[in-house]
Structure 1
Amino acid sequence: MSRRPVAQINLAALQHNLARVRALAPSSQVLAVLKANAYGHGLVRVAQALTDADAFAVARIDEALALRTAGIVKPIVLLEGFYEAAELPILLANNLQTVVHNELQLSALEQTSLDGQLKVWLKIDTGMHRLGIEPAQFELFYRRLWQCSAVLPGIRLMSHFCCADERGSERTSQQLAIFSELIRDKADQCSLANSAAILAWPQSHGEWVRPGLMLHGISPFAEQTGQQHQLLPVMRLSSRLIAVRQVQQGETVGYGGQWQAKIPTTLGVIAVGYGDGYPRHACNGTPVWINGREVPLAGRVSMDMITVDLGPNAHDKLGDEAVLWGPELAIERIALSAGTIPYELLCNITPRVDYQYLS
């Protein structure tokens, strides 16, 4: 029995979710987004399991090189592009594709001398106002890339939605209209749809969709779960009861004494805390799954432990498993209780957690 929290990663569920993406966007190729250690699930193991994806996307070059070192040969796209011209030979040597989103990147491509050509994705800012060229710059950038000897013919065009997780969002409709107008006489492949747009905006699917969160079985929509979209949770985070004790009415638990027993009850102490990535701001009442039922968090989350109210007639014992999130308990619910989003919970898991991969 492990004394550490365990993150079980269900690779079959991952493959199911990719198949679900294909069912939702049957005419699109899939650019599977694996940034931030595949959303906390393990970059290399997730890539190795997603054999049916058409390509992978990461944020930074070190993530791409880790995949290449592990023997991943599928196309890899750098979503943030390259940072300096000295990286261009590395991109070419490792067959990496790059997003171009500013003048410095374009100029570096024009001035470089490479022994080959790079596949380029041109990113247009249609309203996110984060990365991307202005719509007014599009024709000039597009023409210069086509004329650039370091760029492979066949530029791919992309943008990013800011409100796709709001069904019926006027902003998303506006972004779609801007992008469609810019590319209406272009024959290049396009990519707009993230997980939320794959589910809610089928008109945005284009030639490439970019699922990230939904590959891991999680809903991009507030107050919904992945299971409502026929997705399967990939991660199951669990730990064990390390103490069971009685408290009397009026006694408090944990730092600050913020939780107080209303009746005599049984408390369970679970070996997980914010030092493992469990959210420190999870509030009293946040559910934990133990022995086939939900029990509420009682008191503040500590670095190494949380405490739950097992109830006055509990029969739980030391060593019993406690599920923090997974198939029994949707991570979306934990995120709501902690005032955050599932992305943050997944990305905050620390090396103290033991990863186990299930086929």
Structure 2
Amino acid sequence: MRQSLYFSLCHFAFADSGALSLSGAAEALCNASKRLKSVYAFVQAKTKYATEKVREFEDMVELVRLKIVRVRGNEGGNGNWTSCTGIAKFLKRVGSKVNRVKRRELKRLRYLGYSAVGAAGIAAGRLDEMINVWRRAYSSGKGDFCVGNSERHATRNQLLNCYLSDSEKDEFISLGDMHRMERVEEMNMTRESMNELLRLTGGGGNPLERYVHSANCHLTNTRPGGGYLSENSTSRRILWGDGIISLKRSGRGFVGGTGKTRAEVLIHDVTWEEDPVNNVPVLRNAYRELRKFVNLYAYIEELAHETGAHWNWEYAQAIVNTGTHGNKSTVVVDEDSGKSFVVLGNRETVQEEKLLEEMAICGVGRADSLRRTLALLFLLF
């Protein structure tokens, strides 16, 4: 037993030009790349939801305006609706929020969404590029490789969070491959969750494959006459993936570990970044842009919640029942959250009714010919 253990330790101790581990470093890079590409679907879904909320606000305002003109036209109403004062205050409060969200916040949300998707795509591209170079650096005849396990080099089929398939073409998962993306929510986009994807838990944080005598990977060998240069050593450290991995000057690719890849002094031949979101520029930028988007989206949601708190079931139902076409509208109320809205079955119908009521107040009749004329105008515009 002692003899076997001693042999195993020595077998590991003298392995030069180590390869990145398939189950550790390589899979972590692919998982992070996939998460970054999923930002596109995340931003798309959130932007669509925010746009729908603004639409609900607009529907709410239209119904309140219809109620106001009906109260004025009929000189009366039911219950608390005999006066326009309360309705007008509500309309002013909601209308100002609608205009602010639609003209400023929603436009800015789309802009921040573009920035977040772009930054995430750049970061994912850097990780994919690194994986592609390292995975392709192998020799089947000699068994030399730079990404793999104790037996052989890594194939595309073993890295399906990066590659589409094990075809002859190195095709990566793209933003358009929605069925391959994760279902991502805010909890998956925190600093901690992003760092967790790139945390090497096995092997004490060593990015290298530990059970290979010598993978003969020229990418980890930076000694004079090694993989990078024929005679001289590298002048300084070499960063891969914008700093997710750092290779020490004149290192032999033997010792791997986790630390700060941009530290003044590197302890390991191959260092894996311990805090990628903070210390890898492309990942830091992707995270910052995404947080800007998430924070603004949360603000829009808060505005919706505040408005919904003043929009209870009775209030919404009273407005809907006012209209001739009220049966074509639906009251949507979440009493627990306070988010309650009116969804119009036919927005144009309510706008037509409101215009007819306003014209009636001014003494203009509501003849069938007028209705036909208005219908034509709505079709044209």
TM bin, normalised by shorter chain, reads under 0.3
Q: Which has the higher contact order (CA 8 A, sep 6+)?
A: 2
- If you compute each CA radius of gyration, which structure gives the higher value, 1 or 2? 2
Q: TM-score, normalized by length of structure 1?
A: 0.26
Q: TM-score, normalized by length of structure 2?
A: 0.25
